[in-house]
Chains A and B, each alone.
Chain A
Amino acid sequence: MAIKKLGKQTVKLENPPSIISYYSIVGPKEGKGPLKDYFDLILEDDLWGQESWEKAESKMQEECIKAAIDKAGLSSQDIDYLIAGDLLNQIIATAYSARQLAIPYYGLYGACSTMTESLSLGAMLVDGGFADKVACAVSSHFSTAERQFRYPLEYGNQRKMSAQWTVTGAGATILSSYGSGPYVKCITTGKIIDPGITDVANMGGAMAPAAVDTLVTHFQDTGLDPSYYDLIISGDLGYVGKSIVLDLMKEKGYDLTKNYTDCGVEIFDKSEQDTHAGGSGCACSATVYNSYVFKEMAKGKLNKVLIMSTGALHSTLSTQQGESIPGIAHAVAVENTIE
């Protein structure tokens, strides 16, 4: 019997796991953005002493997980599971980071939705009594994503105005069965929603309907109103996706204008940093949750937050074959108090 199930797609955790530690590493560009004071480590150069950007991405993720474990006063032996992923083919950056850490490992591919996917599964493992401590982490890197999904860096291509900028960074969260919060209260797992967008320059448009579907389902399943949360923050819909979410939610009778934003909108200064439609990538949401959101929660400025990473689950091949982009969004409710 699924006694913790609430409605169609939501689970309510019986013993809400506590977020006992979190850490964020970002690249130099993100470190000049509006959230620069919240990040734990800002790299001076995005190669970080490595010989390839792929290696630099692995190192970022590995160091980020280590730092989060360290910050909790633990060692890697204390962690029962590592649940992590990235954007590269075969999530190779994560495989190399997990190789160094020697923690039992589940690899995830949820594109840019991976952070809340890993938090969801990690929280369920802890609440289910299968683990006491779980590390959830992701990474992404502008230069590795660019060459895999788009063009060589030195290629003369004018970026579209709706294009988004892959965040260079890594974020890690440690969940524990004991702790003083914030707690993971509810999880709404998203379905794939494919609105038929084939244009990879319009990721926000491709993912927004999935975000709307998950949000509406979350409110229906829990019976909550959007105003219950101090902040509802999606992963990397950017300016285009954010505006679509506001429109579509209004159509469905939910007013999000007061407490909703998107990590992709917040992480860069659009006018100063020339990032067009905002940030994207696994690390876009991960670095914002693991810096700004959780730090503001620690200060008590935010108490109830719904975080929802969004993913575009296409591949370079599916795009070339003219297939549409499947979108997904997973929502995780994080609150400072248990009841």
Chain B
Amino acid sequence: MDKLNKREYKEYAEKKMPKPPYVKNMIMAFIVGGIFCTIGQIILNLMKNNGLDEKMAAAGTAISMVLIGGLLTGLGVYDKIAKIGGAGAAVPITGFANSIVSPAMEFKREGFIFGVASKMFIIAGPVLVYGIGSSIIVGLISLLLR
């Protein structure tokens, strides 16, 4: 196959691929994502009502949400929620927990160091690298601009 043919074929083959149900997926992402955030809001309010200050309540909420995401993954429910909710399950912090717990569980048979502990970060690793890395740059820039 020559170059031109390849490009034409690629376009043709892409057209053959069935399209996802765009509207349904968007609605489900909205609902599932909305539910996770509402649960977060409930926990945040509970913490605040129990006398925690703003920062502590936010930290407590983060801890609770990753625990929920982790447990739902362990119980084998999170992948089913994500199948329906798509980005609605991936984007909330519970999805971050899922990305850590799912490979850790999966690679248990490969051992506790190179299996569980190392595979925990196959997806979360990049998140931390870019997140923490860019936050330091932001901090440094804010120093320069002062």
**Residue B139 is within 8 A (CB to CB) of chain A in the complex:** no
Given contacts A152-B103, A161-B17, A162-B17, contact A209 B79 (CB under 8 A): no
Q: For the complex, what is the distance from the CA of A204 to the CA of B14, rounded to whole Å?
A: 11
Decide: A156 and B89 in contact? CB cutoff 8 A.
Answer: yes
Residues in B whose Cβ lies below 8 Å from that of A196 = 1, 6-7, 9-10
Decide: A202 and B14 in contact? CB cutoff 8 A.
Answer: yes
- Stretch with Cβ within 8 A of A (4 or more), from B59-67, B93-101, B129-137: B93-101
Decide: B10 and A154 in contact? CB cutoff 8 A.
Answer: no
Grouping DSSP codes into helix (H, G, I), strand (E, B) and loop, the B interface class, with mixed when no group exceeds half, is helix
Residues in A whose Cβ lies below 8 Å from that of B107 = 147, 152
Residues in A whose Cβ lies below 8 Å from that of B14 = 199, 202, 205
Decide: A193 and B102 in contact? CB cutoff 8 A.
Answer: no
Residues in A whose Cβ lies below 8 Å from that of B74 = 154
- CB A249 to nearest CB in B, in angstroms, measures 14
Q: For the complex, what is the distance from the CA of A52 to the CA of B107, rounded to whole Å?
A: 10
Q: A191-224 interface mask toward B, CB cutoff 8 Å, 1 = contact, 0 = none?
A: 0011111010110111011000000000000000
Q: Which of A147, A156, A161, A193 contacts B82 (CB 8 A)?
A: A156
Residues in A whose Cβ lies below 8 Å from that of B123 = 155
Residues in B whose Cβ lies below 8 Å from that of A243 = 16
Residues in B whose Cβ lies below 8 Å from that of A155 = 79, 82, 98-99, 102-103, 123
Residues in B whose Cβ lies below 8 Å from that of A205 = 13-14, 16-17
Residues in A whose Cβ lies below 8 Å from that of B99 = 155-156
Residues in B whose Cβ lies below 8 Å from that of A159 = 83
Decide: B109 and A244 in contact? CB cutoff 8 A.
Answer: no
Q: For the complex, what is the distance from the CA of A195 to the CA of B6, rounded to whole Å?
A: 6
Residues in A whose Cβ lies below 8 Å from that of B103 = 152, 155
Q: Which of B7, B20, B101 contacts A161 (CB 8 A)?
A: B20
Q: Which residue of B lies closest to A159 (CB)?
A: B83
Q: For the complex, what is the distance from the CA of A277 to the CA of B1, rounded to whole Å?
A: 25
Q: For the complex, what is the distance from the CA of A152 to the CA of B109, rounded to whole Å?
A: 13
Q: Which residue of A lies closest to B82 (CB)?
A: A156
Q: For the complex, what is the distance from the CA of A161 to the CA of B9, rounded to whole Å?
A: 20
**Residue A157 is within 8 A (CB to CB) of chain B in the complex:** yes
Q: Which residue of B lies closest to A161 (CB)?
A: B18
**Residue A60 is within 8 A (CB to CB) of chain B in the complex:** no
- CB B5 to nearest CB in A, in angstroms, measures 8
- CB A273 to nearest CB in B, in angstroms, measures 14
Q: For the complex, what is the distance from the CA of A208 to the CA of B1, rounded to whole Å?
A: 13
Most A-side CB within 10 Å, residue of B10, B25, B73, B89 = B10
Q: For the complex, what is the distance from the CA of A243 to the CA of B89, rounded to whole Å?
A: 33
Residues in B whose Cβ lies below 8 Å from that of A239 = 18
**Residue B86 is within 8 A (CB to CB) of chain A in the complex:** yes
- CB A45 to nearest CB in B, in angstroms, measures 14
Given contacts A152-B103, A155-B103, contact A161 B98 (CB under 8 A): no
Residues in B whose Cβ lies below 8 Å from that of A194 = 1
Q: Which residue of A lies closest to B25 (CB)?
A: A158
**Residue B90 is within 8 A (CB to CB) of chain A in the complex:** yes
Q: Which residue of B lies closest to A153 (CB)?
A: B106
- CB B74 to nearest CB in A, in angstroms, measures 8
- CB A156 to nearest CB in B, in angstroms, measures 3
Sample 25 A-B pairs with CB under 8 A, ordered by A number.
A147-B106, A151-B102, A152-B105, A152-B106, A154-B73, A154-B74, A154-B98, A155-B79, A155-B98, A156-B79, A156-B82, A156-B95, A156-B98, A156-B99, A157-B90, A160-B17, A161-B19, A195-B13, A196-B1, A197-B13, A202-B14, A240-B13, A240-B16, A244-B13, A244-B16
Binding site for B on A (CB under 8 A): 51-52, 147, 151-162, 193-197, 199, 201-202, 204-206, 208-209, 239-240, 243-244, 276-277
Identify the 6 closest CB pairs spanning chains A and B, nearest first. A156-B82, A205-B13, A152-B106, A196-B6, A154-B102, A162-B17
**Apart from A157-B82, A159-B83, A202-B14, 18 more pairs, CB < 8 Å:** A154-B79, A154-B98, A155-B103, A156-B73, A156-B89, A156-B95, A156-B99, A156-B102, A158-B82, A160-B17, A161-B18, A194-B1, A195-B6, A196-B7, A202-B13, A206-B13, A240-B17, A243-B16
